[in-house]
Amino acid sequence: MIRVLVNGAAGRMGLQVVKAIAEDAATEPVGAVGITHIGEDIGELAGIGPLGIAVREGLAAALEEIKPDVVVDFTIPQAVFENVKTCMAHGVHTVVGTTGLTEAQRGELGKLAEAKGISVFIAPNFSIGAVMMMKVSEEIAAYLPDAEIIELHHNNKLDAPSGTAIMTAHKIAAARQAADAVPAPDKTHESLAGARGTVVEAVPIHSVRLPGYVAHQQVLFGGYGETLTIRHDSLDRKSFMPGVILAVKKAPKQKGLIFGLEHYL
Ligand code: NAP
């Protein structure tokens, strides 16, 4: 049984993770950390009945007392780096869904994990369909290097563009480079600020934030007299759970940084 503490447990993703961990035969929720709903039973909050685990404040103290095997972090971009460093200091494997970690921060966390002989797994997207969307986009970019991304999320998302969109842009750029495929230059002369999106490695990314959406992304490719659009829709946060559970189960057997669910598929 893998003993799991969820950080950000009372959040939208955290509650789904608690439920998924409780329902899997090989994993067990043992702790819930957050900054609101303190003292409330996390099972009740997750809608699965009492688990006898109260939401508590303070990750370090919870780790010392509970000694989980794995921490799953779905908190906020501003807190995640310090959260993972705290887990590393306590020698605990970490599975990170929170977006916003920079490449330099990921590198630093990877080195800390290596030194401690533990693992830090970070995935901008835990949905298997989204990982496939990125894989296919990478393949197409070698033949159709002209690409733009439109990502659409709920209006409570704190960061833009999404980590998935940035990761997709990097993969497209790497595929173009490997294939020596060069996109056509952008001939826009005049535009209002932001009209052409933000540009990551010559891939424009357009971010939409509206109530009603969960997490969606379109990758549009243009060619001679043809276009190709790949679209992925996460319609429910449940879509992320098979990926989270897979990462939790792999965590105790890994060492150092693993970035992206594709490494486990
Ligand atoms: P959310 O509903 O706002 O949940 C975040 C939770 O973390 C809230 O309960 C929040 O408490 C709590 N929190 C904030 N600061 C904290 C801290 N320092 N320590 C412990 N808990 C803290 O957000 P969400 O929709 O669940 O998303 C969480 C993160 O996951 C975001 O970065 C989002 O982009 C990312 N995400 C990733 C994936 C993926 O596949 N990788 C999928 C979906 C979302 P309060 O509510 O009291 O502020």
**Mapping DSSP to helix (H, G, I), strand (E, B) and coil, where does residue 238 land?**
helix
**Mapping DSSP to helix (H, G, I), strand (E, B) and coil, where does residue 72 land?**
strand
User: Closest Cα to residue 9, out of 25, 26, 108, 39?
Assistant: 39
Q: Name the strand (E) or helix (H) holding 248.
A: helix 241-250
Decide if 171 is catalytic.
no
Compute the average pLDDT of residues 163-179: 96
Structure confidence at residue 198 (pLDDT) = 97
How much of the chain is in helix, strand and coil states, percent to nearest 5? 40, 25, 35
Structure confidence at residue 116 (pLDDT) = 96
Decide if 157 is catalytic.
yes
The model's pTM: 0.89
pLDDT in tens, 14-28: 999 999 999 999 999
Tell which one of 40, 76, 153 to mutate to probe ligand 1, the residue whose CB is within 8 A of the most ligand atoms.
76
CA of 92 to the centre of ligand 1 (A): 20
Q: How confident is the model at residue 223 (pLDDT cuts 50, 70, 90)?
A: very high
Half-sphere exposure in the Cβ direction for 62 (13 Å, CA):
28
Residues touching ligand 1 (Cβ under 6 Å) are 7-8, 10-14, 33-36, 74-77, 79, 97-99, 123-126, 157, 240
Compute the average pLDDT of residues 206-229: 97
Compute the average pLDDT of residues 244-257: 98
CA of 5 to the centre of ligand 1 (A): 15
Helices (H) and strands (E) in the chain, counts: 8, 12
Q: How confident is the model at residue 247 (pLDDT cuts 50, 70, 90)?
A: very high
- Give the DSSP letter string of 155-223: TT--SSS-HHHHHHHHHHHHHHHHHT--PPP-------TTTT-EEETTEEEEEEE-TT--EEEEEEEEE
The active-site residue out of 19, 37, 116, 153 is 153
CA 173 to CA 30: how far, in whole Å?
42
Contact 122, 262 (CB under 8 A): no
Q: How confident is the model at residue 188 (pLDDT cuts 50, 70, 90)?
A: very high
Domains of the chain, each with CATH number or no CATH: 2-122+238-264 (3.40.50.720), 128-234 (3.30.360.10)
Within 10 Å of residue 78's Cβ, how many Cβ atoms? Answer: 11
Structure confidence at residue 59 (pLDDT) = 98
Q: Which atom of ligand 1 is nearest to the CA of 127?
A: 40
Considering only CA atoms, which residue is closest to atom 35 of ligand 1?
98
Tell which one of 5, 6, 13, 133 to mutate to probe ligand 1, the residue whose CB is within 8 A of the most ligand atoms.
13
Structure confidence at residue 38 (pLDDT) = 98
Q: Which atom of ligand 1 is nearest to the CA of 126?
A: 40
User: Closest Cα to residue 120, out of 160, 80, 62, 60?
Assistant: 80
CA 107 to CA 243: how far, in whole Å?
22
**Mapping DSSP to helix (H, G, I), strand (E, B) and coil, where does residue 73 land?**
strand
Contact 135, 262 (CB under 8 A): yes
**Mapping DSSP to helix (H, G, I), strand (E, B) and coil, where does residue 102 land?**
coil
Q: How confident is the model at residue 102 (pLDDT cuts 50, 70, 90)?
A: very high
Give the percent of the chain with pLDDT over 70.
100
Compute the average pLDDT of residues 157-167: 93
Question: Which residues are CB-contacts of 169 (< 8 A; sequence separation ≥ 6)?
Answer: 149, 200, 201, 203, 205
Sign of CA dihedral 47, 50, 51, 56: positive
Q: Which atom of ligand 1 is nearest to the CA of 9?
A: 9
Contact 77, 53 (CB under 8 A): no
Give the percent of the chain with pLDDT over 90.
97
Structure confidence at residue 105 (pLDDT) = 97
Structure confidence at residue 155 (pLDDT) = 97
Hey, which residues does 7 pair with through a beta bridge? 33, 73
Structure confidence at residue 62 (pLDDT) = 98
pLDDT in tens, 80-97: 999 999 999 999 999 999
Question: Residue 111: exposed, middle, or buried by beta-carbon count in 10 A (0-12, 13-18, 19+)?
Answer: middle
Considering only CA atoms, which residue is closest to atom 33 of ligand 1?
98
